């Protein structure tokens, strides 16, 4: 398969610090040099140099964490999916976490414009001692008529394996061509956020604390969460704007970081 962009990197621990090895990219995907939003751990910014995803684009990304590596990953800007009259945009991501490693992966929102079709598949391999935190936001983009939900469809799959067993499968499918009522189309909301947190630190007592946190969420959004088959949980958020979901993501992320012994507050927002 000919890729529009490919990216691959490995995070390892050297002299008590996580560093990036095997940094490779080609085509429209690039990887910026690590920065340190958290003083102890690197943050990687994934960059799409083309300005947006267009008809027939295909992307392939791989990120590996060796044992005890800790890494934060985000993107430089939102992923803009423009109209795809012939072939949907496809993106495949594989993440592999070694023993006692920690990966926090929060890409910027996916914005689907009029007549866009987008397929995304994220496959994650974890161990019982690793921590994986992931969040994504999907929003409707510009349309000539000014109407929302003018994209054709978006399909996002997240599959997580532990010891070769599938422990989590999340499949979000949004199809605006079904002419659904607002009640069936995200309940009248426009933005949807999904967050998954899997970690041995998430015990039954931690889930009870998280339940209290969820009850304190703003009234203008709809939130729900469920426990996973392994220690952890998944969250779905419906809102009217990106910033509302990002604010909840930050609260949840900070909650999880505290359980893992990380006190530093991290702001993912770009300026």
45: closest CA among 72, 20, 83, 18?
Answer: 72
Looking at residue 67, what is its pLDDT? 98
Looking at residue 184, what is its pLDDT? 54
Check the CA dihedral 134-65-74-115 and report its sign.
negative
Give the list of residues 6+ apart from residue 248 with CB closer than 8 angstroms, or none: 193, 217, 218, 221, 223, 235, 237
Q: Which residue, chain included where needed, has tokens 């995907």?
A: 29
* Helix boundaries (H) for the chain: 204-215, 242-259
Looking at residue 1, what is its pLDDT? 59
Give the list of residues 6+ apart from residue 13 with CB closer than 8 angstroms, or none: 19, 66, 67, 68, 69
Q: How far apart are CA 114 and CA 149, in angstroms?
A: 8
Looking at residue 37, what is its pLDDT? 77
Q: How far apart are CA 212 and CA 86, in angstroms?
A: 47
Q: Could you read off the pLDDT tens digit of each residue along the chain, which spans 271 residues?
A: 589 999 999 999 998 889 998 889 999 999 998 888 777 789 999 999 988 999 999 999 999 999 999 999 999 999 999 999 999 999 999 999 999 999 999 999 999 999 999 999 999 999 999 999 999 999 988 777 777 778 899 999 999 999 999 999 999 998 887 655 555 567 888 999 999 999 999 999 999 999 999 888 888 899 999 999 999 999 999 999 999 999 999 999 989 988 877 766 676 655 5
Looking at residue 258, what is its pLDDT? 85
Domain chopping of the chain, boundaries: 5-260
Please state, as a whole number, how many other Cβ atoms lie within 10 Å of the Cβ of residue 85. 9
10: closest CA among 76, 98, 77?
Answer: 98
Looking at residue 260, what is its pLDDT? 77
**pTM over 0.95, yes/no:** no
Looking at residue 53, what is its pLDDT? 96
Q: Which residue, chain included where needed, has tokens 């979000």?
A: 172
Q: How far apart are CA 172 and CA 72, in angstroms?
A: 24
Check the CA dihedral 211-260-163-46 and report its sign.
positive
């Amino acid at each position: 398969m000919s890729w529009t962009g490919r990216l691959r990197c490995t995070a390892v621990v050297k002299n008590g610090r996580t560093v990036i090895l095997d940094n490779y990219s080609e085509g429209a995907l690039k990887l910026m040099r690590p920065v340190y939003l958290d003083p102890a751990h690197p943050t990687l910014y994934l960059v799409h140099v083309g300005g947006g995803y267009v008809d027939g684009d295909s992307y392939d990304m791989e990120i590996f964490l060796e044992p005890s590596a800790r890494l934060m990953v985000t993107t430089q800007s939102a992923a803009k999916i423009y109209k795809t009259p012939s072939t949907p945009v496809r993106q495949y991501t594989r993440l592999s976490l070694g023993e006692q490693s920690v990966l926090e992966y929060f890409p910027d929102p996916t914005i689907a414009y009029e007549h866009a079709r987008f397929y995304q598949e994220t496959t994650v391999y974890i161990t019982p001692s690793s921590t994986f935190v992931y969040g994504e936001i999907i929003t409707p983009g510009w349309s000539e008529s000014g109407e929302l939900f003018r994209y054709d469809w978006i399909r996002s799959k997240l599959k997580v394996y532990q010891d070769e067993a599938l422990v989590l499968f999340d499949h979000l499918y949004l199809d605006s061509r079904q002419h659904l009522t607002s009640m069936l189309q995200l309940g009248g909301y426009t933005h949807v956020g999904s967050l998954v947190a899997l970690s041995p630190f998430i015990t039954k007592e931690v889930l009870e604390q998280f339940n209290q946190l969820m009850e304190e969420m703003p009234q203008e959004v709809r939130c729900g969460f469920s426990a996973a088959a392994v220690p952890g949980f998944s969250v779905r958020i419906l809102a009217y704007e990106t910033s509302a979901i990002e604010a909840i993501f930050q609260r949840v992320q900070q909650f999880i970081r505290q359980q893992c012994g990380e006190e530093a507050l991290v702001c993912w927002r770009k300026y």
